[in-house]
């Protein structure tokens, strides 16, 4: 099987895992503060990553890789989890998931800036059209979202795209699971301090759904998903495999509706469908 097919398969598994991230975060912030949730998930994932690195007897990355690892940590360990947790205090998980439509464009843009990729002009045409559809949905939500929530989600997408592209570049030399594990360890001291400072005063009022949400985002969203995702981006190309993120809204919207009972508006489905069609064409020219 070619690297391209392997990359698509691995990337698709990552997208399936990530699709549960925002609904799980929405459930978790009902019992935990956004700061504690962000730091706790990073600490748990870092400990698991450290175990993997120890068992795999992985050598420390070279000093020149530390800057890139710091960018990965800023984007996907700290920035995206914190900003989405804050955003989900103002908007529904179903609404936030549609913002994932901006991720392929952000990832591809940083893939050009940081990874040296050069998609064809038609790629950008369809990517921008898909992103414009998402932006149009956000602006015509009928008052069911908030400006602050939308701005926080937009900032989260930008940082996440940067972290994805930087991690994909590093994965070509370090390996996918090694990149996210080292990035988590790099952020561990800060995240551990933050977790201790924001630890809940009482644990008695925290329901089981919040604990399940914390467990999911810690193990799957923060570690396991990235093992497949970074491998996919490294093998298949950041711009090309990155377009698979447009499947995430479909899966995420379904989870938000089934698990959280949130209303799935026809405008959400229509916007997501249009975006996926645009990205299908964009990927052809990646």
Per-residue pLDDT at 142: 52
Burial status of residue 172 (CB atoms within 10 A of its CB: 0-12, 13-18, 19 or more): middle
Q: 87 pLDDT band (50/70/90 cuts)?
A: confident
Mean pLDDT of the chain: 84
Which of 102-106, 118-122, 162-166 is predicted most confidently? 162-166
Residue 248, token pair as written in the block: 């995430």
Give me the percent of the chain exceeding a pLDDT of 70. Answer: 91
Q: Give the span between the Cα atoms of 117 and 45, in whole angstroms.
A: 30
Residues 6+ apart with CB under 8 A from 212: 24, 27
Which pTM was predicted? 0.84
Per-residue pLDDT at 143: 47
pLDDT above 60 (res 118): yes
Per-residue pLDDT at 94: 64
- Mean pLDDT for 17-23 is 84
Q: 177 pLDDT band (50/70/90 cuts)?
A: confident
Q: 123 pLDDT band (50/70/90 cuts)?
A: confident
Per-residue pLDDT at 32: 92
- Mean pLDDT for 127-151 is 73
State whether residue 125 is helix, strand or coil.
helix
Domain coordinates in residue numbering, the chain: 3-284
Quick: pLDDT tens for 25-82. 888 988 999 899 999 999 999 999 999 999 988 888 888 889 999 999 999 999 988 8
Neighbour tally for 202: CB within 10 Å? 6
Q: Give the span between the Cα atoms of 215 and 209, in whole angstroms.
A: 10
Residue 4's nearest CA partner among 252, 244, 266, 232 is 232
Quick: pLDDT tens for 195-248. 999 999 888 889 999 999 999 999 999 999 999 998 888 888 887 788 788 777
Residue 85's nearest CA partner among 39, 147, 155, 29 is 29
């Amino acid at each position: 099987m070619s690297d391209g097919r392997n990359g698509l398969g691995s990337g698709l598994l990552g997208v399936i895992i990530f699709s549960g991230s925002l609904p799980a975060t929405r459930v978790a912030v009902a019992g935990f503060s956004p700061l504690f949730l962000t730091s706790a998930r990073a600490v748990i994932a870092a400990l698991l990553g450290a175990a993997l690195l120890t068992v795999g007897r992985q050598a420390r990355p070279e000093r020149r890789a530390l800057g890139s690892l710091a960018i990965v940590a800023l984007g996907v360990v700290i920035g995206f989890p914190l900003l989405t947790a804050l955003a989900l205090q103002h908007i529904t998980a179903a609404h936030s998931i549609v913002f994932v439509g901006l991720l392929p464009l952000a990832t591809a843009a940083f893939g050009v800036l940081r990874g040296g990729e050069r998609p064809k002009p038609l790629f950008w045409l369809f990517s921008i059209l898909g992103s414009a559809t998402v932006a149009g949905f956000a602006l015509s939500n009928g008052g069911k979202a908030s400006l602050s929530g939308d701005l926080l989600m937009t900032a989260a997408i930008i940082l996440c795209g940067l972290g994805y592209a930087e991690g994909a570049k590093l994965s070509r030399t370090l390996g996918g699971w090694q990149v996210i594990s080292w990035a988590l360890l790099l952020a561990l001291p800060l995240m551990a301090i933050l977790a201790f400072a924001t630890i809940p005063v009482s644990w008695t009022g925290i329901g089981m759904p919040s604990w399940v949400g914390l467990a999911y985002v810690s193990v799957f969203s923060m570690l396991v998903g990235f093992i497949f995702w970074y491998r996919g981006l490294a093998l298949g190309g950041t711009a090309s495999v990155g377009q698979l993120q447009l499947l995430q809204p479909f899966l995420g919207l379904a989870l938000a509706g089934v698990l959280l009972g949130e209303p799935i508006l026809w405008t959400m489905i229509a916007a997501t469908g249009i975006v996926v069609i645009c990205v299908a064409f964009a990927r052809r020219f990646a």
